[in-house]
Structure 1
Amino acid sequence: MGGNFECSSGLTLFSYTADIIPIVLAVFFKEVKYLITFRITFLIKTTIFKVKKNAHIPQKFTSLTQAMKAFGMPAPQHPLIALINGIDHRLNYDPPKYAHMLTFYKVSFRPNLGGTVKYGQTYFDFQDGGMLFAAPNQIIGHDQSVDTAEKQCVSRQITLLIHPDFFLNYPLATNVKRYGYFSYDTSEALHLSDKEKGIILSLLRIIEDELSHCIDEFSQDVIISQIELLLNYANRFYKRQFITRKVVNNTLLEKMEQILNDYFNDKKTIHKGIPSVNYLAENLSISPGYLSDMLRTLTGQSAQQHIHQKLIENAKEKLSTTNLSIGEIAFELGFEHSQSFSKLFKKKTNQSPMEFRARFN
């Protein structure tokens, strides 16, 4: 009897131990997994914190004096406008080492002296010279060291800095926003012919001459008129650039058509809605402003008008070849409301979707 009891107790103990071991192991591995996960999360957060800590927040310059001082330049003669001439005068200053933001307009001109300059993540080829434009509150520069070649390139140019307040009480205060090239990417810089360079250089020298002499009650009028003339010439030269680079731009136009065709054929409109100008520009690797201005020059239509044209083409196809309702067609084309679709269709074709469909029944 006693032996049976001991044997029974042993089996019971063994059975209990066999049952609890998996539980203990499960708890152990769960704790280990938790510790590993915690450690990895901690390392990731620490790394991100170090990256953010080391990342340089673009410095914002709110005045010309502040910016000129940071660049190692003397204070401007006028608090709202400054011209830095590195073509006619030898300059010795360091370009900013880090990205920065200006609260004023910046116009840069450089003749064909060779070299490249990096703006953001893009190297702009200055071999043939050209112009760059930046509107207030755009981030300029990069967070990398400046090499000797780039320093020489930047110092041998003319830079015009204009605070928006300088335009107050003049039509240019409003009209300056109409010059779309201030929103272009740096890769879409204005390339100039020798004759065009001469025109731009003469205007910049007139502005410099006016700023360097005694400022009187006529000075601002004269300078404003020269700036407006400069911007108008730049506008003309950009239109010329769209035309003379027609082969490149036609390739962009063909690529845009393909992007739109794929968008509608893949029925992305159902999930993503109507394609936007920003979507096209992003897929073409150009800025929205440059895209629309290029299309207006080449086709007479803006990017938005091209999108609407493609919408109408697809709408006509669905109205004439399917039995889908107007609401279903509107939904497939990315409209939230069928009324919006009908309104656009009527505007573009001078007839309602139902009237158009009736022609095929």
Structure 2
Amino acid sequence: MKSKSIDEFYQEISGGNDQDSSGLLPKDIQKEIGHFNVFNIKELYERLQEKSFMPYDRRAYYKISLIRGKNRVEYADRTIDIEKQALLFATPKIPYNYLPLDTQQSGHFCVFTGEFLTKDKSGIDLDRLPIFQTDGYPVFQLTEEEAFAIDLIFKKIHQEINSDYVYKYDLIRNYVSELIHFGQKLQPVTALYSKHNSAARVSSLFLQLLERQFPIESPRQRLELKSAKDFATRLSIHVNHLNKVLKENTGKTTTELISDRLIHEAKILLKETDWNISEIAFSLGFEELAHFSNFFKKQTALSPLSFRI
């Protein structure tokens, strides 16, 4: 699943109009490391009413939303219905879909890259925070009192981003950190996540992490997750537990599933691109051409060159 960039995000919410897109950018953001912006959901929803859903997608930025109104959130393999208001945390690691179920939409959301919040050594390491873990709880139903408190934080962010204060983005970072810690202290809606489906959830997350690395679109693109250990680390579980869960749910081990997907992609690249075999090997995560050739031959009984001809 391809990541949607910040630029593509602005194209999406501006309806593809470059002039409108540039008008949505906060002033002075070019001086910052990373990117940040904040939006009023009611204003944006009215502007884009003909497009009442967010495509199920993986986005290359973080997002924190205060959602008011009836909505359905699909996050990885979970579906959560929101009746009144909720706080949603979205991470680049996991695809999600946000579907309004009525026209009474309001609230706020902010988008930011990891670099914005970690611009110096004292910044937050987002990937270590429970709120952004792949096996965490991303959606929190809110009381009116909680929603009011979060609304105040967002209003401060709106006020600062439109100000001329020289250090406004440093202040905004503090407000974003406050939102994150507010969320981490909330009690998750645990009733939606019963123990019996935890194995299915792990399997689903693994398959999504695997699949979203494809397709390989450039010889310079390289797989980030290549081994069972890589996936287990990303999912914050032991590699033996991951193997056990996948074997029970798919009939195959982690390594077998990774190998199957690598071979499928290798065949596509060999047949449909003019990349040399070394480039294909590199993009698929192999350090040496010989290792890729041995792997391919073991899986298909043919060398990469023989398969290409």
TM-score (norm 2): 0.51
Q: Provide the residue aligned with 2:57 in structure 1.
A: 100
Q: Is the 8 A contact 1:105 1:135 kept in 2?
A: yes
- When Rg is computed on C-alpha atoms for both structures, the one with the higher figure is 1
Look up the equivalent residue of 1:194 and give its one-letter code. E
Larger RCO: Structure 1 or Structure 2 (Cα < 8 Å, ≥ 6 residues apart)? 2
Look up the equivalent residue of 1:197 and give its one-letter code. A
Look up the equivalent residue of 1:105 and give its one-letter code. Y
Alignment pair present for 1:201 and 2:151: yes
CA distance in 1, matches of 2:194, 2:45: 42
Gap runs ≥5 in structure 2: 16-20, 206-235, 242-309
Secondary structure of residue in 1 paired with 2:140: coil
CA distance in 2, matches of 1:140, 1:115: 13
Q: Provide the residue aligned with 2:85 in structure 1.
A: 129
* CA deviation after TM superposition for structure 1 residue 125, in Å: 0.9
Look up the equivalent residue of 1:222 and give its one-letter code. L
CA distance in 1, matches of 2:116, 2:176: 11
Q: Provide the residue aligned with 1:66 in structure 2.
A: 8
Q: Provide the residue aligned with 1:268 in structure 2.
A: none
Q: Pick from 198, 202, 218 the counterpart of residue 281 of structure 1.
A: 198
Offset from partner CA, 1:72-108 (integer Å, 9 cap, x none): 2643213611112124776321356643321111112
Q: Is the 8 A contact 1:184 1:287 kept in 2?
A: no
Label 1:89 to 1:249 Cα distance change in 2 as closer, same or farther (>3 A): closer
Q: Provide the residue aligned with 2:70 in structure 1.
A: 114
Identical residues among aligned pairs (%): 13
Q: Is the 8 A contact 2:39 2:109 kept in 1?
A: yes
* CA deviation after TM superposition for structure 1 residue 232, in Å: 0.9
Label 1:129 to 1:109 Cα distance change in 2 as closer, same or farther (>3 A): same
Q: Provide the residue aligned with 1:86 in structure 2.
A: 41
* CA deviation after TM superposition for structure 1 residue 136, in Å: 2.0
Label 1:168 to 1:303 Cα distance change in 2 as closer, same or farther (>3 A): closer
Look up the equivalent residue of 1:103 and give its one-letter code. A
* CA deviation after TM superposition for structure 1 residue 249, in Å: 9.1
Question: Would you tell me which structure has more strand in proportion to its own residues?
Answer: 2
Label 1:87 to 1:170 Cα distance change in 2 as closer, same or farther (>3 A): farther
CA distance in 2, matches of 1:250, 1:90: 30
- For these two proteins, the number of residue pairs brought into alignment is 194
CA distance in 2, matches of 1:175, 1:287: 25
Label 1:175 to 1:186 Cα distance change in 2 as closer, same or farther (>3 A): closer
Q: Provide the residue aligned with 1:320 in structure 2.
A: none
CA distance in 2, matches of 1:97, 1:123: 14
Look up the equivalent residue of 1:62 and give its one-letter code. S
* CA deviation after TM superposition for structure 1 residue 203, in Å: 0.7
* CA deviation after TM superposition for structure 1 residue 119, in Å: 4.8
CA distance in 1, matches of 2:111, 2:39: 8
Label 1:133 to 1:185 Cα distance change in 2 as closer, same or farther (>3 A): farther
Equivalent residues in 2 for 1:15-34 (5 A)?
Answer: none
Q: Provide the residue aligned with 1:170 in structure 2.
A: 120
- Over the aligned positions, Cα root-mean-square deviation in angstroms equals 3.8
Runs of 4+ in 1 over 6 A off after TM superposition: 284-288
Gap runs ≥5 in structure 1: 1-57, 256-279, 289-301, 308-361
Look up the equivalent residue of 2:198 and give its one-letter code. A
